[in-house]
Structure 1
Amino acid sequence: YSSDGLTWTKQNNNAPSDSDTTSTDGRIPRGTSNTADDAAAYVPVVLLDGSTYKMWYGTSDGSKVRIAYATSSDALNWTKYDNSVYNVSSGDGYAEKIISATDLSGYDYITAWVYANNTGNIVTLGFGENTSNEHYQSFHVDTINTWQKVYWDITAIPKEERDQVRLIRVTSESNANTVIFDNIAAEKFLNNPDGSTITSSPNEYIQYRAIMTTTQPTNPPKLYNVQLDWNNGYKVEQTDGNTVKLYNFTGESQDLRLDVIVFGADLAEYYTVNDQSIEAGDLVAMTGELDDYSVPILRKSNKADDPQLIGAISTKAGQTLGIEADDRRLLGLAGRIPVKVASDSAAIQVGDSITSSAVPGLAKKAEAGEMTIGKALENWIPDSDKSTVLMLISDARPLQTGYPITKLSQMKMVSVGSLNQTVKNFTDVKYAIQIDGNELVDQTSAFSQAMIANLQSGFIDAQEITTKYLSTNILQVNEKIVSPVIETTDLIASGTAKLNIAEVNTIKPQPNTDLTVDLSNLNDTSKVSSGAGELAKLVIKGFEGKSVATFDSYGNASFSGTLTAENITAQNATISGNLIAEEASISGKLTAKEIEAENIRFMEEQLNQNASASSTLADNYSSLSTNVNDIQKLLADIKNQPLPDVDYYQNNIGEDLNTNSQSTGSGDLNQFSNLIVSEDTNLYNLSVSNNFTAGNVMIEGNTIIGLSSELRLTALSSINFFDGAVAIAKDGTITTIGTLIAQGGVKTNEISALNQGEDININLGENNQLETSNDNPNSKLKIQNVLGEEVASIDASGSAEFNNLAINSLTINNVSTNSAVIAASDNFDRNGLYAPALETKAEVAGIGLIPQNQQEIIVYNDKVKTGSLIYITPTDDLAGSQMTVVKKESCETAAYSCRPYFKVAVSQTVPKDTKFNWLIIN
């Protein structure tokens, strides 16, 4: 601000916080979410009305531009009017607005301007004091994409039900419908200048009101000249198209008010013009320039079929938009207006289209292909006194045809030539359009650009055609088709098909024919006949592009891997390496130097183990037999010896025993050849140099042998081996600090950790590759049933297989969160797939999303395999759409650079980012 216009003081110019109510320092903030100015507020216009500053400013919510309003008493602190935006999303959906209590008891009508893309009873207004549908009225839209004013007579609604209106509702009655409302207002009729309702005595009340409606849109009522006579002296008369008179013949002074809209049959907006002579009825065109307020500048049309033609100037519009100025004129937007006609125009009949003539600002009858701005509502002939014709305004567009065809069923495509699969030159075939089986259309049109929702054509001659989808019964190309990808259900080539790489699931012959792979070189047979050069081969490549099988033109075949066949018949077979077969049957004689088979190796191992065990048992049996024989002989000798006579016993304590003995010379030990004790004996230390037998137990060397069927070892608490390395407790618990090896297996009902809370480790060996292959399989923990069949397993890489799995809960640690979406164009550059995509590396689960206005998303993931099961669950509302996994690519058999992925799609485009959960199970 400034006090002298020279020295200025700047206010705070920092961007204010978003607000829907007030602002300071002369700033207008952006609104909050779901308001008209939540994206931008700009280009303000301020007027001082008394002591109140009034501001109109432009707004944007990111998709639509609107005008908003704010007021201020000091031009610094502004109060914004409500800019909320309410959307109706579906049939029977509605937008509702809560307003401050408003008294409509003194009003007669609610009016509104409506613009819709469908016709019929498709919109409903409602209001109420407690709910927004206490009172409602449906309206009929007569013409699509045309502004129409609607009226609702509310005088029949009790005043006490409309004196505190707090809610307003707008309802869409159609699913596929876009409706725009503007200037919703409450109006009064027959009021005094101060706004009060005219009062009169009974039977002395006049009201000039005409309300007409119909349920037949094709036959709307029309109001022409109106004349009202009142028997006590009042009279209203419309004398011509521009004059309405009110008479008072009562002989008394009366306060009457006559509200009349003269014409008022169109909607118009003020536009700047570059020629002050432009007036009502002139045709105008665009200059491509804007004035200082960003309003387009118009000029008079200056040529026949002016390509920049936009419309005509209104006489007196019933509803105006924009701001009036000396250099601005009202451009008709909708409704009917009179336009000036050039004297050299062809005769105009009702329904003819109107365009610009060679005379500046004047109109003429439009021909096919010319730019038209409306249709004539009345006839006009040259050399008549009339200089104008009444026109119904429409959008400026080329006139397509002179045939009033509204349904495709009225037209038929007929062929002048003949077309079949053998035609080589399509230009020899001609087509024509026939109307109702009779007249042929001969109109010609030219366009620089055109957008057609549905196109039917007999013959199209184009230099280039770019399309997302192409569907045809027969596609004939004289030279070649160039495309990075061709997807088709059936591909038939009657001649030769040359493919660098072909990816197929199944190759099968045509019905009743052979499938032939021709390896002959038809272009050069000299190499084969002369024996020079290599023969053509059919090569099958596998992992890392290495050849795994070849077939040459002489019938020789080579396999680098395993050949599996149900039956093999060969006249002569020479196998230099190994022959492996799941089953083999030989009806004759099999002669082989050596045969290796898993069953034979197993039998050899069993035989070797049995032979070794038999040898050991034989040795043990031989030793036991010898020992038993010796024991039996010793027992027999003892039995046969006579008992000693105790009378001969002598007390030789302290003396040397010398009967059949030899003294050691020390007096401490005597040696006996035989010693028999018939009663108890006590020995302090006993050393036996050979065998020791006690009852049915014999000790020989380092071997303890039970001579009966059972050998029992017992102790009061435990039996200890190897200084505690192995201990057997009295209750049967076996404790070992080393490794327990059970080659025959372990049978138990329970396995638990040594200490509570500790882990149990099962070591499956050192071969813990991330993935299992046939050449390098991982060790497995297998679970088998009584038939020896594997029903579950876990290998060293952590992969598990179960015939059936039932769980109460599942927690997945390796979960992918949202990553940035790769645009379709970037994905095509990187991976050759034109669709948006997500990178998820090797996670088995995660969160994905389909971007706004898209129908599909590609999820790249290294865990995708041929047998993968992929589950998806939408977490956002799909509004009736269906979400499915439409494609899965594992790249396991791909011979080119390939990334595993799966594709998720919905049946219709989503209006916002739509999230879903995904899970991969292999």
Structure 2
Amino acid sequence: VSDVTTTGSVFGITSSTLTSGDLLALSTSGNTFATGQLLDVSSTSTGLTTGNLGLFDWSPSSWATASGDLVRINLGQYGDTTGNLFAIYDNSSELFSVDTAKITSALPHEFTAAGDVTIAYDLVFTNQTASNIKSYGPLTIESGESFENNNLTLKTYGTGDIIFDPGITGSVVVGATASATLRFHVSDDEISTASAMIENVNTSTDADALAVKLAFTSGVGSGCDTGGSCNEYITFLRGDGLKVGKIHAASTTSVTYKGNGTDFAEYFVKIPGYTPSAGDVIEIDPSTSTVKPASGEYNPRLIGVVSSSPVFVGGVEGPDKVLVGLVGQIPVKVASYSEPIRAGDFLTSSNLTGLAVKSNRAGHAVGKALESWEPNSGRDKVLAYIDPAWHDPDVRLTTNGDINLAQDAQNPGYYQLKDKDGNLITKLSGLTDFLVDNIKAGYVEVNQLISDQLISKFVKTDRLETKEITSSDGNLAIKLNEASPSGFGKLLVQNRAGETVFGVDESGNATASGELASQSLKTNDASIAGTLKADRIVANEIVGLDAKLADIQANRITGITREEIEELLAEAETNQSLINQSSDWDLNTSMGSAALNELALENLYVTGSAAINSLSVTESVVIGSDLVLSSQINELTGQQINSLDTVNAPLSIQSSASQPLYLMASLVQIDTQGNVQIAGNLTVGGTIESSGLRLTGSYPANEEPNGFGKLLSIANDRGEEVAVITATGAAKLASLETDKISISDDPAATSSASFAGIVYTTSASAGSARIPQGSREVIIRNPKITKDSLVFVTPTSSTLNPLFIKEQVEGEIKVGFDIPANSDVTFNWWLVELAKQAAAE
């Protein structure tokens, strides 16, 4: 080897025939080598510019691929070192080294390739002063793959904070599709799920969840009510940015909530079957302690109106609840028959369920109208201020609520009661307490009057309770103003059970249910509804209601028999003209007595009133000019036909709806709300129209294979069952034709990776899945899958090989290919349960 060579190779080893082995092999044998270098390449040259101390270059003359390592450093089976396998130094300072446990680098690294840097485990920054992850472009940190569900955690210890520090005009955005408008912006797209939660898991009694702080300490915005400057703690916006509510500073030490709603409402339990509608007037149902649409004018149980836009809501919502506005501005439904309404008029309940009318007398009101309303205006609601209370339009007080007394010019020393406009008040009501030394009035009407002594020229009361009534002049007169339409007495004597035992009407007619004892009885006329028993009757003449027996002498009446009376009645005239003539008849009354066990008449005409304990009619009874009760024999069938008919006017049964209606020994019942209960079957030849249909019932468990009975069974004209709906909601149809079928998904469905591959867990009857690139199959676990289920699989992306169900067992199917997929493959699946039919012959 010459050291005088200036160019080229001082020492060269070349070979054109070597196919395997080593071109240069440096090795030692034995255990003698301890220090030094087997290969030492060094230079002290100061002129090195583009040269290399070491160069490994493989430049084949044509395209070639090597399968080995171009440079390899190997530590043998029994070799170990506490030093480095490879190290680079700068003037004895280590720049880069590789030992048996780690790679150490003292230099910054630059990764300029377009590919990814992969780190299998942890990335630890050991500098205790500060560490940074910087990006010269947009930076994205992702956790897990697209089909996984992994968390991304930012964690500190002790009092360390997680600080988001965007630029002066930047924002912190949660939600990849968000368009930030404020410093912190959370955007989401979820159904029935909140977009954010602030949770304090501390269980003490002094835990707080959220604090909102404004920097001001004195003075507040003056434009909170006008849209100007305002210190707002929280603002509520809808999708287009319209402000619908806010919590703002009312002063330096208080806040106010404002919303676009107009009433305060609470949730109440409603009666079953009631579908609430905004504007319904609501009352309390005392029998069930629930609420329902109000019925009846001036209903005393009014509590509010179904709310349409509440600003505050109390209670807990639910399918059995209705939101009732208790105070505030609410549109109220108005009955079409209401009088015209002006702003300021009070509103009350009506005879139409849930609707209101104008209040024009004392009674309970639901609120006060805030606008006018006219019948036939096309509007069915009026805006009202809801405040259920008692309203009496006849109360006349001053604006301060005081009674106004003025000197009576006509009667010196007396005062007149006048309203705020100076008009004389003729009626005073609505007072709960009234204390006065003396009352002088021509007319006083009270519900209850308690007095040690009452002196009055005239007292009018619905009820008078007293132990004794005495007369100051020895005479006691009881005057009845009007006779009742039925002709019964107005002066009644009742027992402790409230039953009338004696009565006298204005005409002097008296009725008694007990025994009337008298030494003598003198009367011009007597009517006996029951049986008159007497040892002897002596009379000049006996007059019937439809026959006059003037041609019979009194001595013939003595001891008259039943057969003789029937014969006399048979001879009487029965035409309608007798009624008109009866008023002109001369009646002679006998002072004797008669025994009539039974009175039989062909026709009976009564011009006044009749009190009858028992009435038997052979064919028909006509009431008024239109109502007919009849019992006749059908000439064709020979059957007894009983009927109740009207010809010109509708027939109303229980028109007041004060009590329920029972038919067929209560097998058919109609309650006061119009609810109908039928114990048997209902057959309808026409069409059933209803806003809703609810079927409930209990049937034998063996009636259906699933153990639940049929709620609805539909048969054709041959009686063959063609459709069934069971209590589980399952339906069996002979055929189904529809524009669209919707199958519910499983919101709790999950996908996870396992040694067996990707596993989808769901309870839905249909869904979608993905076979990742390089995988052969995925598993779908579903409790509805059986070994006999039909599962339809439809690819939704390109596949080079057929996609099929590779395995199907109870609760699980395996879907895939025979070979690994060369790209991600998505597919839809549909589970159909095959109902087993009886084996055909």
The normalised TM-score by structure 1 is 0.25
> Per residue, is there more strand in 1 or in 2?
1
> Per residue, is there more helix in 1 or in 2?
1
The normalised TM-score by structure 2 is 0.28
